[in-house]
């Protein structure tokens, strides 16, 4: 971030050392787990989102170049201007908005939407890392299960949150969270199917 720019993301998220479009790649040391937890706590929306975030990724082999969702074009423009969380500022958002408008892309509520989506992508990658990389599952208990359930209920990074719970399903806390989510009315059908499969 340039000195005269204003940050849009919380301090702990701005310290995220990887691109917001990639994610955690380090070994799961204790300090990394503490940081992962802090990031997830900071990215969690305070209330249920009006629509799920982030958008579902397009399936590459089913898309022609002109069939990709418009939001993927915006994401590419943002990646050029703010590849890391520390670069997410109103000034760079404004520059990206101007470029999107020049290309005829809708820019209504631009900063609000795209700040939220960048947080959602960071949360996704962090949840994925917790579920995939951490062998000491007890070190994740119960904070990961509690946060993953909240992410699903609030509509952010729900797929990766359920994935993290499925990866740790041998723990009673994960199975309990999955059982509660199985009866949650706000759950998308495809995620409910994943949960139902795990609980068989």
**Residue 3 in domain:** no
CA 87 to CA 93: how far, in whole Å?
10
**Residue 110 in domain:** yes
pLDDT in tens, 74-132: 999 999 999 999 999 999 999 999 999 999 999 999 999 999 999 999 999 999 999 88
**Residue 1 in domain:** no
Domain of residue 48, residue span = 11-198
CA 109 to CA 79: how far, in whole Å?
18
pLDDT at 29 over 80: no
pLDDT value at position 200?
Answer: 83
User: In total, how many domains does the chain have?
Assistant: 1
CA 162 to CA 194: how far, in whole Å?
8
**pLDDT grade for 59, boundaries at 50, 70 and 90:** confident
Give the list of residues 6+ apart from residue 71 with CB closer than 8 angstroms, or none.
55, 117
Q: What is the rounded average pLDDT of the residues 186-191?
A: 86
**Residue 2 in domain:** no
Which three-class secondary structure state does DSSP give residue 53? Answer: strand
Q: What is the rounded average pLDDT of the residues 50-77?
A: 83
């Amino acid at each position: 971030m340039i000195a005269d720019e204003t940050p849009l993301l919380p301090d702990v998220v701005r310290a995220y050392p990887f691109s917001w479009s990639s994610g955690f790649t380090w070994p799961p040391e204790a300090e990394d787990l503490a940081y992962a937890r802090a990031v997830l706590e900071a990215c969690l929306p305070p209330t249920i989102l009006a629509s799920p975030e982030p958008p579902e990724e397009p399936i590459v082999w089913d898309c022609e170049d002109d069939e990709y969702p418009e939001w993927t074009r915006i994401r590419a423009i943002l990646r050029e201007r703010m590849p890391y969380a520390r670069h997410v500022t109103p000034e760079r958002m404004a520059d990206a908005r101007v470029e999107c408008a020049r290309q005829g892309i809708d820019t209504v509520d631009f900063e609000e939407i795209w700040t939220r989506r960048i947080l959602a992508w960071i949360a996704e990658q962090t949840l994925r890392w917790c579920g995939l990389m951490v062998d000491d599952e007890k070190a994740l208990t119960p904070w990961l299960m509690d946060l993953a359930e909240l992410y699903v209920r609030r509509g952010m990074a729900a797929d990766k949150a359920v994935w993290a719970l499925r990866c740790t399903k041998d723990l009673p806390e994960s199975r309990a969270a999955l059982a509660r989510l199985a009866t949650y009315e706000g759950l998308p059908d495809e995620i409910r199917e994943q949960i139902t499969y795990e609980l068989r």
